A and B are shown apart, each in its own frame.
Chain A
Amino acid sequence: MAVENSGASRRRMYVRMVLRSLSRRRSRVVIALLAIAIGATTLTGLISIYTDIPRQMGRELRSYGANLVVIPDGKPVIDANVLPALDAAVGDGDGDLVGRAAYRYETVTINSQPVSAAGTDLDDVRAVRPYWQVSGAWPQAGEILVGRDVADQLGLATGESVTLAWSAGKKQGSDSDSTDEFTVSGVLDTGGSEDALVILERAGLEGLTGEVGAIDVVEYSVATSADQMSAIVTRITESTPGVAASPVKRLARSETTVLATLSSLLLLVTVIVLALTMITVATTMMAVVAERRAEIGLRKALGAENRSIIGEFLGEGMALGALGGLAGGIAGLGFAQVVSLNVFSRGIATDWTLVPIAVLASVAVTAVACIVPVRRAAYIEPAIVLRGE
């Protein structure tokens, strides 16, 4: 009973001493808290940016085109009915499906000049090829988009009416031409091979040719790693007969390289800044503790054991670490959001689990930073510490 009482009253005194030291040494405490909070801000801020930005950049890089192409295998065309199955195989878990577009190519004539026409879903195309520059408007039903080369060659401009002619006879030797009127809604500038195309809704092309539900190429844009990409290819081959899938190798690889470079650069910056911050926190704590050498000597002179002095300073340091880590950890998430908005022009996912991590890290750093100077002072004879001020 008496032992229990003495334990309780000693614990109360311990808490009292820690609280007094925190509340009555305010200027020192503020400096230490500030250092710790800035450290924790840097910790959660940089880790947020480090983990989220490459992921987002991956999505952004994906907007530079398709990285998976599906073509017919052993059949002349792909049946449009298999598209849902293909989509399922691609989007199944591993990847982040950014967009998909299916194309039907036919050779048509405009003013007797042969031109390649692509029939597709233009909303899908925008997702897969967001870099397409269209002067004028994207086509609606009854309209076409003409590539820059076609427009120049045939002297076509936005708003003009053109007649597309399709001759089945080219293949079959008959001369039953079919024609349809279209309006040029805009001119496409890509600088690439698409500039030689006429692009329209697939339904429009099918109306011209009378051949419905046939597809020549399906393009996918998937944000994924190289490993996952090969898993997707395998899955498509297994699930859908009559098609062959292949990644667009060059783009996928350079993209992975760019992302890896970005990640390692961010990691490097994060590690360096964190190391510097920890050193700052540690030196601040060391200075704050070193100031109290005389107090440590006095406590020893009163008969304190070294471990009990270390315990008291550790308690203070860890309380500071927890407080500063909590405040800084939360501030860091906001900081990451601001940096992300200003530097990368995008929001960032707020990962609250970083806050307890920041608290634990701050407690650990301050604890280590306290123990070093406290041990140093505690292991000196109290007489020397007391006379040295």
Chain B
Amino acid sequence: MNLLELRGVTKSYGDVHALRDVDLCVEPGEWLSIVGPSGSGKSTMMNIVGCMDSPTAGSVVLDGVDIASMNASGLAHARRNTIGLIFQKFHLVAHLSAVENVMVAQYYHSMPDQAEALAALARVGLGERASHLPSQLSGGEQQRVCIARALINYPKLVLADEPTGNLDEANELLVLDFFRQLHADGTTLIVVTHDPEVAALGDRQIVLNHGRIVRQIDNRANARVPVALTPPGGLS
């Protein structure tokens, strides 16, 4: 069964059609990259999948439930239990320390556990900076706090909208390493990016343009191409 299924999803803002009749399936454990020019609807799609926005038309089935027909409370439930969000602009609470920012996610999910939050920060290499405020952290460090926060409740689906857009190369590599680990652990990952190298890390890429999926590239299939080229007879 698919973890995520979009059927005929359309999102309009008045005359602006951010998404038009999009169909998409994501399997559990898959790493999907979304690429496309600016304004093509990538963030709109992430917001809908992340239960932060509702489609104008179509159905979105996440982990077996249709979120298009959910009320506000049901969407909040899905956000805290199923989704982990990583933002381009980090969105940390400015007056809370790194560890407190992670604990906020625990607080809304179930119960805050400072020891666990500290361990999560240690895993992203910020064990020593746990009591620092976001203003005292670099962009890359803030993004790692954001990642620790997104992963603290073991979400089934991690959504990252341009996670490396504001980072230097060293921090970008760090973040991508976390993604590889997550992927290896079996977490489903959807990453929006402008960077073809980042996109190529996914199992599959979709290309959006003017709110439509105009192309799908299966990186696994590409990887298997040499295998497929091997004459069937050669193996028997």
Contact = CB atoms under 8 A, between A and B. Distances in A.
Interface of A: 5-6, 9-10, 12-14, 16-17, 20-21, 24-25, 294-295, 298-306, 308, 379, 381-384, 386-387
Interface in B46-81: 47, 50, 52-54, 72-73, 76-81
B163 to A, nearest CB: 15
Contact of A381 (B53, B91, B105): B53
B173 interface: no
Given A5-B111, A13-B103, A384-B53, A295 B73 contact: no
The secondary structure that dominates the A interface is helix
Contact of A303 (B47, B54, B79): B79
A6 B110 contact: yes
A301 B79 contact: yes
A21 B97 CA distance: 11
Contacts of A382: 52-53
A24 B95 contact: yes
B108 A302 contact: yes
Nearest to A305: B76
B72 A306 contact: yes
Contacts of A24: 95-96, 133
B109 interface: yes
A178 to B, nearest CB: 96
Contacts of A300: 52, 76, 79
Contacts of A9: 111-113
A384 B81 CA distance: 21
B104 A302 contact: yes
Given A13-B103, A294-B91, A301 B85 contact: yes
A302 B101 CA distance: 11
Contacts of B24: none
Contacts of B83: 303
A381 B77 CA distance: 14
B12 to A, nearest CB: 14
Nearest to A12: B112
Given A13-B104, A17-B104, 4 more contacts: A299-B104, A300-B76, A302-B85, A308-B108
Contact of B111 (A6, A306, A379, A384): A6
A14 B106 CA distance: 12
A382 B53 CA distance: 7
A116 to B, nearest CB: 84
Contacts of A302: 79-80, 85, 104-105, 108, 149
Contacts of A295: 93-94
A301 B100 contact: no
Contact of A383 (B53, B110, B149): B53
A32 B112 CA distance: 29
A294 B93 CA distance: 9
B54 A381 contact: yes
B95 A298 contact: no
A21 B83 CA distance: 26
Nearest to B84: A302
Contacts of A6: 110-111
26 contacts: A5-B111, A9-B113, A10-B112, A13-B103, A13-B112, A17-B96, A17-B100, A24-B95, A24-B96, A24-B133, A25-B95, A295-B93, A295-B94, A298-B93, A299-B108, A300-B52, A300-B76, A300-B79, A301-B52, A301-B79, A301-B91, A302-B80, A306-B73, A382-B52, A383-B53, A386-B91
Nearest to A389: B89
B73 A301 contact: no
B154 interface: no
A21 B100 CA distance: 12
Contacts of B73: 305-306
A9 B133 CA distance: 22
Contacts of A16: 100
A25 B149 CA distance: 22
A20 B76 contact: no
Interface string B103-140: 11111111111000000000000000000010000000
